[in-house]
Amino acid sequence: MRCGTQRTKVLSLIVLEAASPHMIRNLFKKAPLKAWVIKQIDPETLHLCGQGILESTEKPKQVRQALHFEQYQGGVRMGDTGIVLNTRRLAAVVPLHRLRLVEGGREAEWQGRSWTISQVPQRCWDYDGRLVTQKNPISDSPALISTEDVSCLGQYINRDGTPPGEVVFRPVNALEDPLQDTQAAIKDVRERRKRTKKGWREDGSWGPLGEPPEE
């Protein structure tokens, strides 16, 4: 029995010596700490970004403890996108086992109650304003999609104000002045002549205006 134990230790040492430093680090490296990322919490709805991996300079034990109490502060890398969100822009970061999706992802169970799920698209992950929900146009799972709330923009519109100028509409069959474009073209040529002091002279030659044509 003792001989077998020694043989196992020898084989383990051989494997470790043959392995590269990178392989050894990965062997003892702990699995990344994942969590649910909630962008906004409404009375009945969770605006859910999805799952992310916690990225922090703190010790893993401290990070796990903070996540356990749902008080984690730091970065969260979203899936495989490489985008890292700061928890200051989020409503909550929740351990995976605490939040459970049900009804095909349309609802979730969290904090002892059920919530309606609204999926937050990537463009809204960094959005600082309020989100609202709209029906998912391409799928029923999730049934709701989060989008930016632009209703507040209406308060900046003065609906009782008058336009800065007068707009005159003419009948559809009304004709424009047939000489309007011709007169505008003549005026434009005269203005250019004044600027360049060159143009077509009365004898049909091109040259400096106000000078007699060459003989």
pTM of the predicted protein model: 0.60
Pairing status of strand 45-55 against strand 113-119: parallel
Indicate the pLDDT class of residue 153, thresholds 50, 70 and 90: low
CA distance 118 to 182: 61
Mean per-residue pLDDT, 84-89 = 95
- pLDDT score, position 50: 95
Please identify which residue in the block is written with the tokens 């005159």: 168
CA distance 53 to 56: 10
In 3D space, the residue among 39, 91, 31, 41 whose CA is nearest the CA of residue 63 turns out to be 31
Cβ partners under 8 Å of residue 146, min gap 6: 39, 40, 47, 118, 119, 120, 121, 124, 131, 132, 133
State the number of CA atoms in the 13 A half-sphere of 157 facing the CB.
6
DSSP string of 169-214, one letter each residue: ---TTPPPPTTHHHHHHHHHHHHHHHHH-EEE-TTS-EEETTSPPP
Please identify which residue in the block is written with the tokens 């209703």: 151
CA distance 123 to 137: 17
42 or 175, greater pLDDT: 42
Q: Which runs of consecutive H residues, i.e. helices, occur in 86-158?
A: none
- pLDDT score, position 100: 96
Mean per-residue pLDDT, 134-139 = 89
Pairing status of strand 45-55 against strand 100-102: unpaired
Name the burial class of residue 135, with classes exposed (0-12), middle (13-18) and buried (19+) by CB atoms within 10 angstroms of its CB.
exposed
Cβ partners under 8 Å of residue 193, min gap 6: 199, 209
168-187 per-position pLDDT tens digit = 555 555 565 666 667 777 78
- pLDDT score, position 27: 46
Task: Express as a percent the part of the chain with pLDDT over 70.
Answer: 61
- pLDDT score, position 142: 86
- Chain centroid to Cα 11, Å, comes to 52
Indicate the pLDDT class of residue 138, thresholds 50, 70 and 90: confident
**Main-chain dihedrals φ then ψ at residue 92, nearest 5 degrees:** -165, 150
CA distance 37 to 52: 6
CA distance 98 to 57: 24
24-41 per-position pLDDT tens digit = 455 445 688 999 999 999
Please answer whether residues 53 and 32 qualify as being in contact, where contact means their C-beta atoms are separated by less than 8 angstroms: yes
Residue 167 has pLDDT above 60, yes or no: no
154-164 per-position pLDDT tens digit = 665 666 665 56
